[in-house]
Structures are given as C-alpha cells and as structure tokens.
Structure 1
Amino acid sequence: MNTEILKSIIFNVSLLVLIAQVLARIGFVKKYILHDRHNLKEQVILVILFSCVCIISNYTGYKVNGAYANTRVIGVMASAYIGGPLVGIMTAIIAGTHRLLMDINSFSSIACVTSTIVEGFFAAIYSKKVKKLKYDSTMLFCLTFVAEIIQMFIILLVAKPYELALQLVSSIAIPMVFFNSFGMVFFVSVFKSVFVEHEQMIGEKLKLTFEITERCIPLLRTGLYDEANCSRIGDIILTFFHNQGVLFTDTERILSSNGNLAKLSWNDKKIPEIVKQVLTENTVCVKENAPEGDVLYDVLQKLTAIGAPLTKDGQPFGCMVIFVRSYKISFQSDIEFVNGLSKLFSLQYELSEKDKQKELLQKAEYHSLQSQINPHFIFNALNTISTFCREKPEMARELLIALATYFRKSLQTQNTFVSLNEEMQYVNAYLQIEKARFDDRLEIEIDILGDLECRMPCLILQPIVENAVVHGAMKRRHGIVKIAAKDMGDKVMISVADNGYGIEQEVIDAIMENKIDSSHIGLSNVHRRLLLTYGKNHGLEIQTSSKGTVINIYIPKS
C-alpha cells in the first residue's frame, strides 16, 4: 500500500471534517439542514455548498497513474442524506462534471464521472432510510463501503486500457474504500450534532410547556376565556418563555396582547390573517410576513408569528399567537412549544367546562327534585287528584299515573342526552297535572311532528314550560301555553310561548349573566347548560312583551 496515498486520504478526510465543523456553525446552513422539506432556494444553496465540498476534494486528491485518489464520495453521498435525493443527484452531476473538466484526457475520467453519478443515485435511494435511522454510523459506513466498491468495479469496466485500470484500483482501493467510509461517519456526525442539539432544545421547550401550564392551571380552571384571564396567562408565558409577545383571540376579535405587542393599538381589535388561517385549518401556522393592511403588518417586519388553535371537542374557540425573532436558525422548537402549550390549554379549558356542565346538571337535578318534593306542590297535586276520586275515578287514576311518571322521570337523569320524544313525555306528565289543577283556565297547544327527532340534554325543556305556566299563563284569567318544534335543516328550533304579562328586562339580563335569584333559577340553569353543551349563540332566546313571552332554544341534530 502506498503510504502517500494513505496520508493524502487521511488529510482530505480531516479537511472535510473541519469544513463540516465550519458549515454546521453557520446560521442559515443550520436552518436549512433542520428543515424536513426544502424549498427550491434551499435546495439550490445546499447543492452549491456540497458541490464546493466535492470540488475541494477533487483538487486535493492525490494523483496516481493519471487518476486521483480522493474523498469526493463523502460530499456526494452526504448531500443526499442531508439535503434529500434531488440535492444528492444534482451534487453528483456537478462533482462528476468538474472531475471530467479537470483532466478530460485522463483514461479514468469517464469512469470517475460515471461512478460519481452512480454514487449520487445510490445515496439518493437510501437517503430516507438514513434519516429515519438518525444517521446511524454503521449504516453510513456500510453504504459508503458498498458505493466505493461499486466505483472500483466501474473503473475496471469503463477505464481503458484495462491494465492501467487494474493497476489504479490495486493502488487506491483499500485506502479509498476504508478511509472514505470512516470519513463519511465523521463528516455526517458533525451535522448530526446539529440535530441532537435541536432535539435537546425541543425537549427543554416541552418541559417549559408543562411548567407554564402548571402555573396557569388556577386561571384555566375558572373556564373563563376573557380579556383579563388571557392577559394574565400571557404574562405568565412571558415570564418563563422570553419571546417577543403573546396574543390571544377568540373567533372574532383580539382579547389580549402582552410583551412588545402591549404598546400597539389594535384597529378595532380585528383578528389578523394568521388567526383566520389557524381557525380555518385548525392547526399550527407560521407567518413571517403579513399582507398590507393586516393588523400585524408592521409587527411581522421584524418578528415571526406562530399561531395555534385553542379547541373544545375538536372545534377551535380561540387562538394563541406567540411572536419570536425572525433571524432565528429554526422555528421548529418554537412550533413544538406553541403546539404543545395550546393543546394543554385546550385540555384544561375542556375539562373545566365538563366540570361546570356536570355541576350545572347536578344543580338542575337538585332544583328539579326540590321542586317536586316541595310540600306545596305535592299538596296541590294530591288535592287535585282527590277531587276526582269520587266523581271521576278514571281521571284520578290517570293523574296518579302522570304524577308517578313525573317523579320517575325526575329521578332517571343518569343519561346526559335524551330524545325529543323522551323529554316531551316528562313535559306532558307535568302538563297533565297542571291542566287538571287549573281546568279550563289553562289551555295547552302542542305542535310537534311525530317524526321530528333530535338529542338534547335531559331536563332542558320542562323548566321552560314550568316557567311559562307558573310565571306566565297563570297570571291571567285564561292562560295559554304553546309548545312547538320546527325542523330548520341542521338543527331543531323548540319554542315555548305563553300569554302572560312578560318578563322584566332586568330579569332577562340576570338570567343571561347567571345572576338570577331562586324564582327563575330553572331558566338560568337551562341557559348555562345550553351554552356549555353547544357553545356560543346556543343559549335561550327570549322575546317578551306585555302580551306574553316566547322562549326559543336551538338543538343541533348532530
């Protein structure tokens, strides 16, 4: 073995490792390397960089019998592993072409060009597997070893005369096959360290995510997603994660802004384009610029926005946007941070609302049972039944059955959702007793098609009907209560109307704000349960005047 060839190969491998150390510390190179998918600009830059590495290998190669012992294979194959198949193939073509132009009359030039391009395609084929195995050293060594063996066979097959080709392969085979294989491991390991550092950074961000969530839990448990709460959460995020700003929005407007954004005056607090995209796609989005006229146009001149949806039952109800400096090497760790934080926040909000819904359901059950076992109610019902015992025993029997149904339905609330038909059985039992009690003074009209079906929260309709009877219709000499259901395509509208004297606006406001006293607690609970179950714009719709009140509820079919 020629020791000069050996020294040259070792020197060239060392030189390439040194070049890799320099490249791996350059910001934009690290940024491109960390991207899973490269755009055309990044691919062109990576092709240029690795082509330069290959050209350096060509020039520093050791001349042997009219050919060169070199480390070109390292640059060619590494370009495919790091930049992807297309980068590897283009680098191989450029490196091979340069080798041809260096010494176009050499007997081995065509063989070297051919082998270089073959090595590029060979590396391109295995590039995804190499990435998947996280640049495993054994695999890198074996692939380079095989590629160099292939190169030796190509030289023997293509280079003429055969005697010179055989002499060349005998001289360069061992040093190039073995030391280039080791060189590939060392060269790629330098770039691999960039990935390792990046993964450590992501790990730190995820740890930070849990710390922030832990601090925010008292605020999240309230279930309040308003300006004050969002502002406090933003301050906590900035305390742990020293970014440039935090923005919270609902589906229509900006709720809070912290950090460098706090000084900005928002134009009517309209949501920016990135928020619209996040809410539409229901996924994390990154924006490095904004269209002119957007509320973040000036902000994104220096900063980059990373937005993530806040969801309940898979549907976004708001958006969190975190701003970072645009010149950062990679946003991947920040994206993971924002995505993880938004998911944890969403989970906490969802759990909080589930707890509130459970609590309200329990309260509804409690007040329902309380009203049923009220001695005054029992006295009235039994007194009504007793009057029919002698004169109309069959009617008394029916009323006892209705009363039993009423109590049984009150107790059977383990099912969160019931059909419209099941809910109406409970309502009809109540109305049958009240109709018997008030006789001709109370008129009931029900307009519900038999085939109209939807699922609704249990005990949701009876409190509305009871309010219409007790606080509405029975305030007049002749009271009328109308119950109707209408198919509206994707939802069902259920209306309960009475001809009473109406509800005061102060009472309606108190119901909507959950500040009602015991006289209308049933309506307040129904309103809150509807909001928690179906979301904004699905609470009670109350229309009232001196001629009566109409209460509408909208139940989605799905």
Structure 2
Amino acid sequence: MFYLVPIMLEKVGIIVIVAYVLSQMNSFRQLFQHEHKTSEKVMLLLLFGAFGVISNYTGIEIHHNIINKAEWNYELDSESALANTRVMGVVIGGLLGGPMVGIGAGMIAGVHRYTLGGFTAFSCAISTILAGTVAGYLGKVRKQKKKKITSTFAVTVGMALETVQMLIILVTAKPFEQAWQLVQIIGLPMIFVNGFGTLLFMFMIQSIKRDHERTRANQTNHAFYIAEQTLPFFREGLNTNSCKEISKIMLKLTDADAVAITDHQKILSHVGAASDHHIPLAKPETLLTKRVLEYRKILVARTKAEISCIHSNCPLEAAIVLPLKVKNNMVGTLKMYYTDPEKLNQVQQQLAEGLANLFSTQLELAEAERQTKLLKDAEIKALQAQIHPHFLFNSINTISVLCRTDADKARKLLLELSSFFRGNLQGARQMLIPLEKDLENVKAYISLEQTRFPNKYQIDYLIEPNLKKVLIPPFMLQPLVENAIHYGFPGSKNRGIIQIRIFSENSRLIIIVKDNGIGIPNDKIDVLGKKIVSSKKGNGTAIFNINERLKGIYGSQASLVIKSQVGNGTNITISIPSENKGVFDQDANSVYSG
C-alpha cells in the first residue's frame, strides 16, 4: 500500500505540470476569472474531462494485488484494476464550473475509464460520474450562498468523493474478495494523494485569480492616476490646447506610440508617431476614426489596412479608437495608436476602454460645472437688478426739487446719480470689481442721501489703503449702508454714525459695516441673509442678495455674520478669500478716514 504512494504522486505531478503549462496561456487563465458563459463551461468540461482521460492513461495497473510497472494504459486485463487521480480533475471542474461542467467532465472521464476494461470498470465509471455530479451541485450551492470555493473545502470534497468511490467498488465490483483486497491496497493512497493533488491544483487556480485581481487593481490605479493628471485640462473642455496636454500625458503613461483626440469634425491633437501628417484642426486622416464617429462604438484595428490612413507611408499599424460621450451624446474620439500590433494587447485595450469611460465622465462633470456657473451668474445678475429701484425714484424726486431752488446742486447730484448707476451697470456685467469702485458707489449714494437728509448721517471710513485694488463682488457695501440708514435710524433725532472698516487678516478680506442705530431683535437676526424678510420699507432682499452672491461665488469660503443688540446698533461682518494674492504683502497697518 505505501509503495503505491510515491508512484501516485508522480501521476499527480503529471497533471499539475500540464495544468501549470496551460496556466501560462491567457485563454486558460481567463476561464477562472469570472462567471462562466455556456461556451466557457463547455471549454471547462472538456478541459477537466481531458485531465480525467490523462489520469486513466497514466494510471497504475493493479493485477491480483500486484502493482505493475508504470506504463501507458490502453486496455486492462479483465481481472485488473487501476489506481489513478481521475476523480481529482472531475471534482475540481465541478466545484469551479457547476453541474454542467461536473457532469460533463465526469461523463468523459468515466466513459473513457469504462472502455479500458478491468473488473472495476463499471464501478469506476459510475463513481466518476457521481463525483462530478455531486461536486457540481456543491459548487453551485456554495456560490449561491456567496461563499468562496476554498482549498480546504475542495480537498474535503475530493477526499470524501474518493472515499465514496472505494465504497462503490466494494458494493458493485465482483468478486467481493478481490474488490476488498484491492481497496485495502489503493484506498488510503488514492484518498490522500488525490486530496494532495486537489490542494496543489486549487493553490494554482487561486494564484491565477490573485494575479488577475492584482493586475486589475494596478490597471485601475493606473487609469485613475492618468485621469487625475488629465482632469485639469478636461475642465477646460475639448480644445486644441487642453487636448494636446491630455495626449502628452497619455503618451507618457501608456504603451501607445501615438495618442490623438478629435471632436466631430477635426483633429484636436495628435502626439507621437505620424504627427507629420495627422495635424490638429485638419479632418481625420483614417477611415477607422470616421467609422467610430459614424457608428458611435469602440473599434480596434490590428493591421495597417484596417486603420486605412490616406498616407501610404504612415507608421501606425494598430489602433483602438473610442467614442467620448457627454450624456450619451458623442462629442469626439480618443485614439491610441501603435507601430507594433503586438503592443495592442488585452491589457492596453482594457486600459483604453476604462480611460474613455473616465474621460467621458470628466467631460460630463466639466459641462455640468460650466452650466452651474452660467446659471449662478444669471441668478446673480437677476439679484443685482433688484437692488436699487426705489433709490432711483427718491433721488429723482430730490433732484427735481433742487432744480427750482439750487440748480448747481441739482447738476452735481445728477452727476453723482449718473456715476452711481454707471457703477451699477458695470458691476452687473462683472463677477468681481476693485474695492475702490465699490467705495465710489457708496460715496455717490451717501452724497445723494445726505442731500435729502442734511447732517443726519456721518460716515467714517477705516480702510487699509493697500486694499483698493483687491477684487470683491459688486454691490457689497452700498446695500449694507442703505440698510443702516433706512432701518437703523427711523425717526431718530440723534445723528447716525456708520463706520465702514476694511482690513486684511490671514489672506482674507474682512469688511465690517457698523452703525449706532436701534439694533435688530434676536428673532430677526436668525433669519436675515437666509431668506427674504418682509418689512414696511421694502421686501428685505438686500442682505439675502449679498449672502446668495457670496455663496454663489465663494461657496463655503465666504461668511456673513450679523451681530446686534436692540438699542446698541448693528455690526455686519463679511469675510472672503483675497482675489489678489500678494496685495497683503504691503503695509497693512496704515488706515485713513474720510
């Protein structure tokens, strides 16, 4: 019995060596990497059935309890039996491929064993088919429960089904005495050697799967790295400059010999081989690209003829051309060219397809970002248009009165009004303006208001002089001053004081508008700036508009804080990022007032 073990290990070695050689082929490795289609299951059952046939041919003949010299078995004596590893391949096939593979491989190996003859031919044939069937259904149940086919599970099933084969031999093989003596010789060696062989085979299959997962992880990381490098350029949209930079990055980070990007009608960039005749802004030179633009699907060419470049001396001999889409609308193509067709392998093709999907997503996000900005710009301009209508009417009424009493003063106020609304119109066309321009608007507004209410308001400016050129959103200051005048001093006989303080702090611009007015109740402070607040003098949009514009331009980087106590005035603080880096490097301590 023990003499049989090393001989059987040699037979296991033959199967494992054959499997290892096959594992170096991509087609073989791919059979173990995903859920199997019917055609792949047929391939698996033929493969594992073939392993069973090889085990039959290379098995060890046992004749009257004597172990014969190992040789190729074509036919057995009627009183002979066979010790081999046939069940090993059938069980592994069933576990991995399910009932179809297990039963199919069992039939192939079992029927072949029956044709070799011997007094255990029928017993071995039946037990092999049974082993394939049971292993197939066990594998199916395991997968339905979302459990992996582990090495331990496979070895346990293999040894158990080999034990069942020994029992079937005892029950069906005749005479019983001869069957019993055979099982005593081959039973334990076949059970444990087949278990060991199953373990080696599962280790090899798991290694194939780990290599595949590692390769896919590396490909995914590589694709994401390329996407990260190209993202800033995709945000610019598809143009000659952005596409040239994208193509350069891809050429550097892939095995392609040339990379090109087109829109619907023209080449936007071509970097690498054949740049002499694939020229940006020209029409696509290859029939392959025209077909992708027409059929809107991925096309692969592995010959120069399939690319069909109109230049006969073009060095490009293989290519993959992929459509770029935004919301299912095709906006262009991504092309990867190779001077050697062998370089366009499965890895490169999968990488190209992954990049095309990522690039399409980036283009879609860039378009969404652009549309959001356009919408926000439109909203801001609509908000800006709501700010000053009542002020215009009040100013015109004041000027009309002055025309009869003080024509020079009326003329001066008309110029102030003109300056004020000119600033408004200019601000409505721009997202950001210099601080000094917004201050000019405030001074024009105050001049008009002080004419209407002489000596009622005092304005103090505390502004760092080096900040005049800092860019801020238009209409930040004037609405706050207007609010202070209208709501801070209603019916007050005391002189109202409004202080505008602007300074820099940690590369941020801080704007504070403070008054000594009547203050704001706590219940109103909680909602100011968050929604439109109704009031007797208007619809309360000023602070809400400012806050909306700050959020639209700066997002969470801006803040508007209101602090107030009834009877002790109001303090409104705006904090925004500086749009002019380097401005704060100047002297930040000098202040002037006016």
Task: Report the TM-score, using the length of structure 1 for normalisation.
Answer: 0.55
The residue that corresponds to 2:320 in the other structure is: 305
The residue that corresponds to 1:162 in the other structure is: 176
Partner Cα separation in structure 2 for residue 127 and residue 302 of structure 1: 45
The residue that corresponds to 1:230 in the other structure is: 243
Displacement of 1:303 after TM fit?
4.1
Residue correspondence of structure 1 range 59-208 to structure 2 within 5 A = 59-64=57-62, 65=64, 66-81=80-95, 85-102=99-116, 104=117, 106-128=118-140, 133=147, 135-208=149-222
Counterparts in 2 of 1:216 and 1:163: CA distance versus 1, 3 Å: same
Counterparts in 2 of 1:161 and 1:318: CA distance versus 1, 3 Å: farther
Counterparts in 2 of 1:257 and 1:198: CA distance versus 1, 3 Å: farther
Between structure 1 and structure 2, the one with the greater Rg is 2
**Conserved 8 A contact 2:98-2:135:** no
Cα deviation per residue 1:52-88 (whole Å; 9 max; x = unaligned)? Answer: 4323311222223421111012222333455665444
Counterparts in 2 of 1:69 and 1:304: CA distance versus 1, 3 Å: farther
Partner Cα separation in structure 1 for residue 22 and residue 93 of structure 2: 13
- Which secondary structure does the structure 2 equivalent of 1:243 belong to? coil
Q: Which amino acid letter does the alignment assign opposite residue 174 of structure 2? A: K
Residue correspondence of structure 1 range 408-487 to structure 2 within 5 A = none
Displacement of 1:184 after TM fit?
0.7
Identity rate, percent: 32
Cα deviation per residue 1:431-484 (whole Å; 9 max; x = unaligned)? Answer: xxxxxxxxxxxxxxxxxxxxxxxxxxxxxxxxxxxxxxxxxxxxxxxxxxxxxx
Displacement of 1:148 after TM fit?
1.5
Counterparts in 2 of 1:256 and 1:124: CA distance versus 1, 3 Å: farther
Structure 1: which 5+ runs fail to align? 280-284, 387-558
Counterparts in 2 of 1:76 and 1:339: CA distance versus 1, 3 Å: same
Counterparts in 2 of 1:381 and 1:215: CA distance versus 1, 3 Å: same
**Conserved 8 A contact 2:260-2:267:** yes
Cα deviation per residue 1:160-187 (whole Å; 9 max; x = unaligned)? Answer: 2333333323332222222212211201
- Which secondary structure does the structure 2 equivalent of 1:225 belong to? coil
Match of 2:51 among 31, 34, 53: 53
The residue that corresponds to 1:18 in the other structure is: 17
Partner Cα separation in structure 1 for residue 172 and residue 386 of structure 2: 99
Residue correspondence of structure 1 range 134-533 to structure 2 within 5 A = 135-222=149-236, 224-250=237-263, 255-259=268-272, 266-267=284-285, 271-273=289-291, 287=300, 303=318, 305=320, 307=322, 310-312=325-327, 317-320=331-334, 322=336, 331=346, 334=348, 337-338=351-352, 340-373=354-387, 378-379=392-393
Q: Which amino acid letter does the alignment assign opposite residue 374 of structure 2? A: L
**Conserved 8 A contact 1:371-1:377:** no
- Which secondary structure does the structure 1 equivalent of 2:61 belong to? strand
Task: Report the TM-score, using the length of structure 2 for normalisation.
Answer: 0.52
Counterparts in 2 of 1:235 and 1:141: CA distance versus 1, 3 Å: same
Counterparts in 2 of 1:295 and 1:367: CA distance versus 1, 3 Å: farther
Counterparts in 2 of 1:348 and 1:3: CA distance versus 1, 3 Å: same
Query: 262-271 or 347-356: which moved more?
Result: 262-271
Partner Cα separation in structure 1 for residue 391 and residue 227 of structure 2: 49
- Which secondary structure does the structure 2 equivalent of 1:68 belong to? strand
Cα deviation per residue 1:331-375 (whole Å; 9 max; x = unaligned)? Answer: 3x5565445434443443344333333332333234334445567
- Which secondary structure does the structure 2 equivalent of 1:3 belong to? coil
Higher relative helix content: 1
Displacement of 1:382 after TM fit?
7.9
Counterparts in 2 of 1:21 and 1:167: CA distance versus 1, 3 Å: same
Partner Cα separation in structure 2 for residue 308 and residue 168 of structure 1: 67
- Which secondary structure does the structure 2 equivalent of 1:157 belong to? helix
The residue that corresponds to 1:5 in the other structure is: 4
Displacement of 1:111 after TM fit?
1.3
Counterparts in 2 of 1:33 and 1:259: CA distance versus 1, 3 Å: farther
Q: Which amino acid letter does the alignment assign opposite residue 18 of structure 1? A: I
The residue that corresponds to 1:441 in the other structure is: none
